[in-house]
Structure 1
Amino acid sequence: MADRPTSGITPFLVIRNTQGREALAFYEAAFAAVIVETNVADDGVRLMQASLRINEGWLMLCDAFPEWRGHAEPEPAGITLHLQVDDTDAWVNRAVAAGADVTMPVADQFWGDRYGQVRDPFGHSWSIGSPIKA
């Protein structure tokens, strides 16, 4: 597909409990994601791979595949995905309305961003920030 990233880092999330399609719907509602591509496994149930664009960045995801090393059920990890946006409050409010939980309330931060954090229904942490408006 010509619209795929060709350099840089693209996060690839593994979604537990065959909830990949639910994750796609959540990211569409929460972060205005545009689904670029999806591929379903031979079993017709699990999502083998999906590519999304969020705020001009790329994200890939799949359902867990215990039979494939590297795509088994994820362990809790210290990873947070960051979104630099135009309006932190609006993005956090939309994510919460779609089902995310606030883990750090939005506030003005000393480094010059309005910033907060949420956890999506699939256990992934997201930080969201925008420059403080004068």
Structure 2
Amino acid sequence: MADRPTAGVTPFLTIRGRRGQEALDFYTRAFGGEVVERNVAEDGQRLMQAGLRINGGFVMLSDEFPEWRGAAEPEPQGVTLHLQVDDADRWTERAAKAGATVTMPVADQFWGDRYGQVTDPFGHRWSIGSPIK
């Protein structure tokens, strides 16, 4: 697909509990994401793979498929997705209104950004930063 990146690193999120479509809807509302591809599994219920653009980057996701791995996916941990944006306060507020939990309120940081963190309803952590004006 032409909208999919051909190089670089693309995060691929696994969404537990058959909530893949809900996650797509959330990322659209919370981060202004644009769904560019969406494929449903043969069972017609689970999201096999989807891709969306967020702030110029690309994120892929799917529902979990324990039958392919032999076990359920572990809870998301140890990874934070970072969004470098024009206004961290506005982006964080929009994410919170869409259902994210603010885990670190946006504040001025020593490295020159306004920076904060949220956790989405699916357990994935996001940091949001913008240059101090």
Q: Which residue of 2 aligns with 1:75?
A: 75
1:85-100 alignment runs, 5 A limit: 85-100=85-100
Q: 1:71 to 1:45 in 2, by over 3 A?
A: farther
**CA RMSD, aligned part only?**
1.3
Q: 1:107 to 1:71 in 2, by over 3 A?
A: farther
Say whether the 8 Å CA contact 1:52–1:59 is kept in structure 2: yes
Structure 2 counterpart of 1:35, one-letter code: V
CA distance in structure 2 between the aligned counterparts of 1:59 and 1:7, rounded to whole angstroms:
13
Say whether the 8 Å CA contact 1:112–1:131 is kept in structure 2: yes
CA distance in structure 2 between the aligned counterparts of 1:101 and 1:76, rounded to whole angstroms:
15
* Uncovered stretches (5+) of structure 2, i.e. residues with no partner: none
TM (norm. structure 1) is 0.96
Q: Which residue of 2 aligns with 1:103?
A: 103
Q: 1:87 to 1:101 in 2, by over 3 A?
A: same
* Uncovered stretches (5+) of structure 1, i.e. residues with no partner: none
CA distance in structure 2 between the aligned counterparts of 1:71 and 1:34, rounded to whole angstroms:
31
Which digits, 9 at most, give the CA deviation of each residue in 1:80-121, with x for residues without a partner?
000000000000000000000000010000000000000000
Q: 1:98 to 1:18 in 2, by over 3 A?
A: same
Q: Which residue of 2 aligns with 1:5?
A: 5
Q: Which residue of 1 aligns with 2:23?
A: 23
Identical counterparts, % of pairs: 74
Say whether the 8 Å CA contact 2:14–2:61 is kept in structure 1: yes
CA distance in structure 1 between the aligned counterparts of 2:7 and 2:70, rounded to whole angstroms:
21
Structure 2 counterpart of 1:99, one-letter code: G
CA distance in structure 2 between the aligned counterparts of 1:31 and 1:70, rounded to whole angstroms:
33
Q: Kindly report structure 1 stretches of 4+ aligned residues shifted beyond 2 Å.
A: 69-76
Number of residues of Structure 1 aligned to a counterpart in Structure 2: 133
Shift of 1:70: 8.8
Compare 68-77 and 119-128 and name the one that shifted more.
68-77
Compare 19-28 and 62-71 and name the one that shifted more.
62-71
